[in-house]
Amino acid sequence: MSFLSYLRVETGRIFRSRIFWLAAVLTLCAPIAGYLFYFPATLNHESSIGLWIANPALAGTFGGTVLFALLTLYELDRVYRKEMASLTDTIVSTLMLSSSRTLSLLLAAAAAVVCAAVLYLPYTLYRTGALWDGGYYLFAYLGLMLPTVWSGILLAAALYQFTRRVELSAVLLTALVLLSMSQYVSDQFLLRWINPLVPWCSDYFGNLRVIQTGLYSRLLWLLLSASLWLLSLPAIRKYGYGLGRSFLKGCRKIYLPFTAFVLIGCGFGMYLCQPFINHSQMEYASFSSHPMSTEPKLTIDEVEITCKPNVMTGTQQGTATYKIFNLEKEDVVETFIMNCGYTIDKVTANGETIPYTDLNNDLNFEKQIEVTIPPGYVTLVMEYSGMPQVWNGLRGSLTGTVFSPEFISLEMCDFYPYHSFIEHGKLELTLPEKLIPISNWVDIEVNLISENTDGTRTWELEPPRGGYFGNLYAAEYIALETETENISAVFYCPKKQQAAMEEVNIQQILADVLEYCSAHYGTPPFAEEGKLRLIEAGIPAMMGGYAVDQTSIMSENTFYEKIYTASAETANSPEIMIHEIVHQWWGLGKNLYDDNTASNGWSSEGLTTYTTYRIIKEKYGEEYAKEHCVDVWQSQADYLKNNFYFRYPEYLDRLPEQYAARVRGSVDSIMMYSVVPLKILKAEKLVGGEEKMDEILKGLFTNQNLNPITYADFLDACGLTEEALELD
Amino acid sequence: MNISIQNVEMTYSNGKQALQGISAPLQSPSLIGLVGPNGAGKSTLMKLLVAGLLPTKGEILLGDSPLISKEKELKENLGYLPQSFGLYDELTVYQFLDYMAALKGIPQSRAAIEKAMAETNLSQYKRTRIRTLSGGQRQRVGIAQAILGNPKLLILDEPTVGLDPEERINFRNLFSKAAQDKIVLLSTHIIEDVQSICNRIIILHCGIILFDGSPQELILAAQGHVGMIDQMPAEKEEGYHITARLNTLKGVCCRIVAEELPPIAQAVDPTLEDAYMYLIAKEEKK
Ligand SMILES: [Zn+2]
């Protein structure tokens, strides 16, 4: 009872303090920074939700946390500095009073955050229009901002209670802020405190993973700051003692350190057992974890899978039934691979439960499961469930397999425990009725087999290639058709985006690219067979794009409407989309590869990037193309030239693995995407201009030779030497 | 209420010894004046009594148990005015007293606050922000919060500092009235403050108790050691202290205390102040 009355008067007092009002008003202003210069959520994708909800809320998170941490230091220090404590400490327990003081600051902060959410609501509604997402708005303010501000208050109070010095506490808090913003933790959602990791915001494909990781990390920080705060309560100075004696005396209230350590334990548990990112190495392993035995000991005739994703929790539950013939007369241990986030719930062989081993040896996206298969004909049933995990190498972008109400993306090992011997596979997938699944492989048909009474629909996939189901994307897709003289194309985009896409005449842009490439290089291989398919995949699954037979898959950020509507001077470049369509020529039509690719960067990416530049130049003008392509390549190449590790690669091995991987990855991609295009541009000048180069490229494209085009082939066709194309 | 100070020593962590072997019982009702020069250990003793400090040696009992084990009971019955304190400037006088009443857990706080404001002559400042109060008014707010809720133990460290003479008299009366059913411990370095109201005086000097008894006993002890001399001594004489210079018809005379009065002095009845000076002077000579 008395605690509540302390809380009442403390809160009343805080609300009468001018400094509180200053902090509150500045906190209310902080989101404005998200409109003006603080853009952490739109570095990769300028979505409406990112621009108008996430950026302001993250700016508010940062500003509010700093302000309320400072307010906390001020309020806690002032009672000693101005000697109010000499009146109050003798009549109430300092522990109770300090607790109610901190709690009243938490209440005041909550009021400020709720006010901020209400204040910015009308403008946000106006800016986001049809893309308004109320759930995300609540998440941004109440799920990210509020807990972060709270943890700031608790940490500030804890530090002050330990040190009893404002400036030292402020220095420690600043160090924590700097650490949280440093590159060491930039890709680790759990370690970022004041700047939660929001690598993207999706307007059309949902934000479940960012919301889940955001809430999870906030809970972790709340736990840690609360435990530190609890631990600091015994340190409140008493009887004129210093830190040590006060703390020892305070710890006689054993429940304080006990609860603190329990919470710290929970925090560690949460850190170690986070369910979102797997524990693979960060560098992509070019070898698969799936062993390919040369002498098969068994055959798998068939697998039948039923998958039931739970889109609300982002998990799935599945059953895979394998028809196996074990050729040996004894048990055989076979290895299956599946997504690291799943667990096997049960394995039966001919109805009997059999043992299995989850090796938990995460590599890339998958881990191995060992199952002991009895001899003869076996019906093996594996039940599995869980949340698919993001590959550790992509932990900074949080992209990958996802089950969410708006979007589902599945790759090979995310469907079921995969095995490469499977002759024939069939998969039943039950999805919310508005989600329409499309496979990236044109020959994997996806058929609706039943409409269920619970608002779901069941789809069936029967791939022509054994148990390989390719990649599957499901969203509320509609198909926009484009016809040109030679080629027709169909573009699958979310229904919600249809109006915006039609307004910018996306079909015309596609047609332009298709016509440019057919006219300059010739018809692509898919033209005779049918349509080119373009699939828009959500940014929760990936950033960028890729191409397979007759299909180019591009992520949401590629299609961002601003790209197409903005004038040439201010626009983001549409190059990823053009790039991925061009891959139907360079890459799929003609592959470019070389034994020396690892060192000279020669690959399909070089010519694709060059062609993209040519199309952009034709559509948007020379100046735009120079700024968005050539200048970018040049600055990347210059960066590489000055890069210490590029010049002295022997030092690379001395770096920790994750940094070495990052450096190597960026060196490779700069070679492929910037250095090689610059060399082709140089060749263009040397052979006598664009028309000459187009002729040479057409010659290469229409050459009947099925081998990949090597760098030497290209040089021969140009009549140039390797030295002639060396960059200055 | 019954408090017993037993052989209490207090040495601060910087090595400064503030109290050495203090013992005294405190019982209600009583109004005790704690007198001594600055630095004698008065504030330290008071902080020990409110459990703001813990003694280095010895112990303070509340009833039969150590004070530290009865902190809750102590806090519930305590009104304390420290020598220096701060107020929340952003609050009005009423809001501040309401804040303190909540901390003290006073039921029917409104009536208690009105009473405390009336007794400290603050009723007219009820809605005034503390920021705008004068030094004397702030001191009165400090006293008001101490007497708020009529605590059984009232400990006031230099309560009348900064008050004008008329207010001092008011507060003397107030404390004297309050002491009828409780322990009031009042520290001061001005003997005048306690002269008329205290039934007991404790004189502290350099961390030890020089005297503990009634004012009459203190005066009695100085009997025969106070005198008047007609004129200023030519040069500083050893052996006596001038306690006052008085302008009389005959010119300036001096009131002196001494172990042995000089022959030129005419013995007079000691006042409490004389007695106090005598005691301190005697101690300092040692
Ligand atoms: Zn590419």
A18 in contact with B, Cβ within 8 Å? yes
Can you tell me the distance from the alpha carbon of A701 to that of B247, in angstroms, rounded to the nearest whole number?
124
Final residue belonging to a domain, choices B173, B197, B213: B213
**Residue ranges making up the domain that contains B100:** 90-146
Distance CA A500, CA A542 (A): 22
Mutate to test the interface with A, among B103, B110, B148, B158 (most CBs of A within 10 A): B103
Residue A381 has pLDDT above 90, yes or no: yes
Task: Give domain status of residue B85, yes or no.
Answer: no
Least confident of A312-321, A338-347, A453-462, B191-200: B191-200
What is the strand order of the sheet A456-462 is part of?
A: A352-353, A342-349, A376-386, A315-326, A298-310, A422-432, A456-462, A445-451
The helix (run of H) or strand (run of E) holding residue B257 is: strand B251-258
The shortest CB-CB distance from A13 to any of B51, B88, B104 is to B88
| Contact assessment for residue A288 and residue A398, using Cβ atoms and an 8 Å cutoff | no
Residue A17: list chain B partners with CB under 8 A. Answer: 90
Contacts of B235 (CB under 8 A, 6+ apart): none
**From the list B50, B52, B103, which residue is nearest A92 (CB)?**
B103
Quote the distance between the C-alpha of residue B61 and its chain's center. 21
* Residue A551 CA to ligand 1 centre (angstroms): 13
Q: Are residues B15 and B64 in the same domain?
A: yes
Q: Do A97 and B145 touch (CB under 8 A)?
A: no
Please judge whether B105 and A83 are an interchain contact, meaning their C-beta atoms are less than 8 angstroms apart.
no
Q: How far apart are CA A439 and CA A410, in angstroms?
A: 9
The answer as to whether B172 is a domain residue is yes
B-chain residues near A245 (CB < 8 A): none
Residue range A115-163, pLDDT digits in tens: 999 999 999 999 999 999 999 999 999 999 999 999 999 999 999 999 9
Residue A600: pLDDT over 70:
yes
CA of A544 to the centre of ligand 1 (A): 9
Q: Is residue B261 part of a domain?
A: yes
Interface test with A, best of B56, B80, B99 (most A CBs within 10 A): B99
Same domain, B139 and B274: no
- Specify burial of residue A401 (Cβ count, 10 A radius: 0-12, 13-18, 19+): buried
Residue B61 and residue B181 share a domain: yes
Residue A279 contacts residue A174 (beta carbons within 8 Å): no
Residue B71 and residue B6 in one domain = yes
Taking the C-alpha atoms of residue A440 and residue A524, their distance in angstroms, rounded to an integer, is 18
CB contact under 8 A, A12 and B99: yes
List the structure tokens of B242. Answer: 């001038």
Closest residue to A84, CB basis, from B50, B88, B104 = B88
Is the pLDDT at A234 greater than 70? The verdict is: yes
pLDDT value at residue A669: 82
Question: Going by DSSP bridges, is the β-strand pair B153-157/B78-81 parallel, antiparallel, or unpaired?
Answer: parallel
Q: Is A13 on the interface with B (CB under 8 A)?
A: yes
Q: For residues A295 and A421, is the Cβ–Cβ distance under 8 A?
A: no
| CB–CB contact A13 B84 (8 Å) | no
- Go through chain A and tell me how many residues it has: 728
- Do B273 and B223 lie in one domain? The reply is yes
Q: Which residues contact A175 (CB under 8 A, 6 or more apart)?
A: none
Residue A105 has, within 13 A of its CA and on its CB side, a CA count of 30
Q: Is residue B84 part of a domain?
A: no
Average pLDDT, chain A: 89
Mean pLDDT of A231-244: 92
Question: Does any domain span residue B229?
Answer: yes
Contact A87 B78 (CB under 8 A): no
Query: How much is the average pLDDT of A629-649?
Result: 84
Q: Cβ–Cβ of A90/B99 closer than 8 Å?
A: no
Tell me how many degrees the CA angle A443-A444-A449 measures, rounded to the nearest 5.
135
| Environment of ion ligand 1 (residues, CB < 5 A) | A 605
- Do A83 and B85 make contact, defined as CB atoms within 8 angstroms? yes
* Cα separation, A180 vs A221, whole angstroms: 12
Residue B54 lies in a domain: yes
Among the partner residues A79, A91, A240, nearest to B53 by beta-carbon distance: A240
Residues B72 and B157 occupy one common structural domain: yes
- Using the predicted structure, report yes or no on whether residue A594 has a pLDDT greater than 90: no
User: What CATH number is attached to the domain comprising B42?
Assistant: 3.40.50.300
Distance, in Å, from the CA atom of A686 to the CA atom of A574, rounded to the nearest integer, reads 28
Q: How far apart are CA B216 and CA B272, in angstroms?
A: 8
User: Do residues B183 and B117 touch, judged by C-beta distance below 8 A?
Assistant: no
pLDDT above 60 (res A564): no
Mean pLDDT over residues A573-577, rounded?
A: 66
**Between residues A506 and A114, the one the model is more confident about:** A114
CA atoms within 13 A on the CB side of A625: 15
B157 and B275 assigned to the same domain = no
Nearest-Cα residue of chain A relative to residue B49: A90
Decide if A9 and B75 are in contact by the 8 Å CB cutoff.
Answer: no
Across-strand partners of B121?
Answer: none
Residue of A nearest to B85 (CA): A83
Q: What is the pLDDT of residue B45?
A: 94
Q: Are A83 and B100 an interchain contact pair (Cβ–Cβ within 8 Å)?
A: no
Whether residues B30 and B59 fall in one domain:
yes
Those residues whose C-beta lies under 8 Å from the C-beta of residue B85, and which sit 6 or more positions away, are A83, A84, A86, A87, B142
Residue to substitute from A1, A4, A86, interface B, most B β-carbons within 10 A: A86
* Nearest neighbour of B145 by CB, restricted to A12, A79, A87: A87
- Contacts with A237 from chain B: Cβ below 8 Å: none
Which string of DSSP letters, residue by residue, matches A530-541?
--EEEEEEPTTT
CB contact under 8 A, B82 and A5: no
- pLDDT tens per residue, range A699-710: 998 887 778 899
Cβ-proximal residues to A33 (8 Å cutoff; 6+ apart), any chain: A56, A59, A62, A63
Same domain as B166, residue B62: yes
**B249 and B164: one domain?**
no
Q: What is the 3-state secondary structure (H, E, C) of A4-57?
A: HHHHHHHHHHHHCCHHHHHHHHHHHHCHHHHHHCCCHHHCCCCCHHHHHHHHHH
Q: How does residue A566 score in pLDDT terms, banded at 50, 70 and 90? A: very low
CA–CA dist A263, A259 (Å, integer): 6
B8 and B67 share one domain: yes
Within 10 Å of residue A82's Cβ, how many Cβ atoms? Answer: 14
**Number of domains forming the structure of chain B:** 3
In a domain, B83, yes or no: no
Nearest chain A residue to B12 by CA: give it. A240
Rounded mean pLDDT, A268-291: 84
Say whether residue A567 is in contact with chain B using an 8 A CB cutoff.
Answer: no
Closest CB to B103 among A6, A86, A242 = A6
CB contact under 8 A, B75 and A87: no
Residues B49 and B185 in one domain: yes
Q: Tell me the H-state helices in chain B.
A: 42-49, 71-76, 93-104, 109-119, 135-147, 165-178, 192-195, 215-222, 272-285
Q: Retrieve residue B256's tokens.
A: 């002196």
H or E element in which residue B7 lies: strand B2-11
Residue A288 reports pLDDT greater than 70: no
- A263 or B228: which leads in pLDDT: A263
Domain ends where: B165, B182, B213? B213
Does the pLDDT at position B46 exceed 70? yes
The Cα A306–Cα A429 span in angstroms is 6
| A16·B84 Cβ contact <8 A | no
How much distance in Å is there from the Cα of A666 to the middle of ligand 1? 15
The partner residues of A354 in beta bridges, in order of sequence, read none
Interface contacts A/B by beta carbons within 8 Å: 81
Q: Which stretch of DSSP H or E encloses residue B5?
A: strand B2-11
The answer on pLDDT for B32 being more than 70 is yes
Question: Which residue in the block uniquely carries the two structure tokens 């079921």?
Answer: A416
DSSP readout, A464-475? SSBT----EEEE
Q: What is the pLDDT of residue B189?
A: 79
Q: Chain B residues with CB-CB distance to A under 8 A?
A: 12-13, 47, 50-54, 71-72, 75, 78, 80-82, 84-88, 90-91, 95, 98-100, 102-105, 142, 145
Read off the pLDDT band of A228 (50, 70, 90): very high
A253 close contact with B: CB closer than 8 A? no
For chain B, percent of residues with pLDDT exceeding 90: 48
Residue B133 neighbours by CB distance under 10 Å: 18
All structural domains of chain A: 3-272 (no CATH), 292-469 (2.60.40.1730), 477-725 (1.10.390.10)
Chain position carrying tokens 């392509």:
A629
**Boundary-marking domain end, from B179, B213, B247:** B213
* Per-residue pLDDT at A293: 59
Determine the residue of chain B that is closest to A80 in CA distance: B86
Report d(CA A201, CA A53) in Å as an integer: 9
Measured over the CA atoms of residue A464, residue A465, residue A467 and residue A472, the dihedral's sign is negative
- What size, in residues, is chain B? 286
* Residue that has been written with the tokens 């040439």 in this structure: A568
A724 CA → ligand 1 middle, Å: 26
Answer whether the bond into residue A540 is a cis peptide, omega within 30°. Answer: no
pLDDT reading at A660 higher than 90: no
CA angle A99, A102, A105 (to 5 degrees): 150
pLDDT tier at A486 (50, 70, 90 boundaries)?
confident
Residue A631 distance to chain B (closest CA, Å)? 60
Q: Please give the C-alpha separations between residue A147 and each of A39, A181, B191, in angstroms, as whole numbers.
A: 20, 18, 58
